[in-house]
Each structure stands twice: as C-alpha cells, then as structure tokens.
Amino acid sequence: MFEFSSANQKRIPEILAKYPNTQSALLPLLTLAQRQEGYVAPQAMVEIGRILKLSPGYVQSVASFYTMYHMHPTGKYIILFCINISCQLNGADELLEHTAKKLNIKVGETTEDKKFTLHREECLAACSNAPMMRINDTYHEDLTKEKIDKILDSLD
C-alpha cells in the first residue's frame, strides 16, 4: 500500500492548480512520491494513476523514461558523480575511483549500511566548477580528494 503523507496530500491540489489539465502533474507527483519514500514503488504509481485518472501502465511507461526516478530503494545519500567532459578533463575519473574505494563499493552499488549509493552521472551544469558531484539535492564543486573525504565524513 502507498499513501501520500498528510503534508503531501495538501500539496497535491496546489500542484494541480498550476496546470489546465491533470496529466501535467504526473512528473511532480512522481517526484513527490520519491521524496517521501526514497524511490517510486509500483504501488505509488498505482496511487498516482488513481489521482490523475491514468492507468498504472501508462504511469510506469512515463516514469521509466526519466533517469531520476529510482524504481528500487537506494542509500540515504545518493552520490551522483559527474564524469562528462569538463569534469573528465579535470580529473573526475580518478576522483570517482577514490570515492568508490573510500566507500568500499563499486560504482552503481549501495554501501551495506544503506547509507551511500554511488552513481556515474552526466553533466549537471557545474562545468566551470569541475569536478563536481551532487549528493541528494546539494551540489559539491571544485572537488579534490581531501574535499571529498571531508564531505563524506561529515554526513551522518
């Protein structure tokens, strides 16, 4: 069973009011569900479909198009490490390797304590401050090994 929290229930009419048709609220509601649970469960897609009068299959087909929706539970902190060109030119590959080693996981994996998930990411529009990573909603820029260690150690 999936239900939006009461705080999120209140947000739904606000979101719907932005648009002349209900389907436009699909991405915002998927995002809301993911923020609540950490991922988009099949039950959440059923519930969103019910609210927006869309079939669960349709909701699924849209959700699967977008890379930011996680279909499975992830770590508490999702580290997206940019490896695109400007970051690559500034040593991102080596720093990514360093991060993986420090967390003792491979890229794409989650630490055993479910704290960190590490992914390779494409350009996140911080190229003039490369290399960079995004942890949940926060951008960390101009990275060095020392800086990465400090950031990771500071998260609990």
Partner 1 sequence: MAELKLLTKDIDKKDLHKLSVYETTGGYGSLKKLFEKKPEEVVEMVKASGLRGRGGAGFPAGLKWSFLAKDVFPRYLCCNADESEPGTCKDRLLLEKTPHLLIEGMIICAYACLIETGYIYFRGEFQHASDLMDEALEEARAKNYLGKNIMGSGFDFDIHTHLGAGAYICGEESALLNSLEGRRGEPRLKPPFPAVEGLYSKPTVINNVETLCAVPYIINEGPEKYASFGTEKSKGSKLVSVSGHVKKPGNYEIEMGTTVRELIYDLAGGIRDDNKLKAYIPGGSSTPMLPADLVDTPFDYESLAAAGSMLGSGALIVIDDQVNIVESTLRLASFYKHESCGKCTPCREGTRWMWQLLDGIHQGEGTDQQVDKLVDICDNISFKSFCPLGDAAVGPVASSIKHFREDYEALLKKNAEGAA
Question: Would you tell me which residues interact with partner 1 (CB under 8 A)?
Answer: 18-21, 23-28, 30-31, 52, 61-62, 65-69, 80, 83-86, 88-90, 122-130, 134, 137-139
Contact 74, 117 (CB under 8 A): yes
Backbone angles phi, psi at 112, to 5 degrees: -60, -35
Is the CB of 84 or the CB of 111 nearer to ligand FES?
A: 84
Task: Kindly indicate which of the ranges 17-25, 67-75, 77-85, 111-119 contains the residues binding ligand FES, using the contact rule CB under 6 A.
Answer: 77-85
Which residue shows structure tokens 């998930």? 117
Q: Binding partner of residue 143 among ligand FES, partner 1, none, CB under 5 to 8 Å per kind? A: none
Backbone angles phi, psi at 143, to 5 degrees: -75, 145
Which residue shows structure tokens 């970051």? 87
Question: DSSP 3-state assignment of 116?
Answer: strand
Is the CB of 86 or the CB of 111 nearer to ligand FES?
A: 86
Burial zone of 136 (CB within 10 Å; 0-12 exposed, 13-18 middle, 19+ buried): exposed
Q: Binding partner of residue 67 among ligand FES, partner 1, none, CB under 5 to 8 Å per kind? A: partner 1
Q: Which x/- pattern over 108-147 shows residues binding ligand FES (rule: CB under 6 A)?
A: ---------------xx-xx--x-x---------------
Phi-psi sector, 40: left (phi>0), alpha (psi -120 to 50), beta: beta
CB of 12 to partner 1, least distance (A): 14
User: Which residues make up the interface to ligand FES (CB under 6 A)?
Assistant: 82, 84-87, 123-124, 126-127, 130, 132
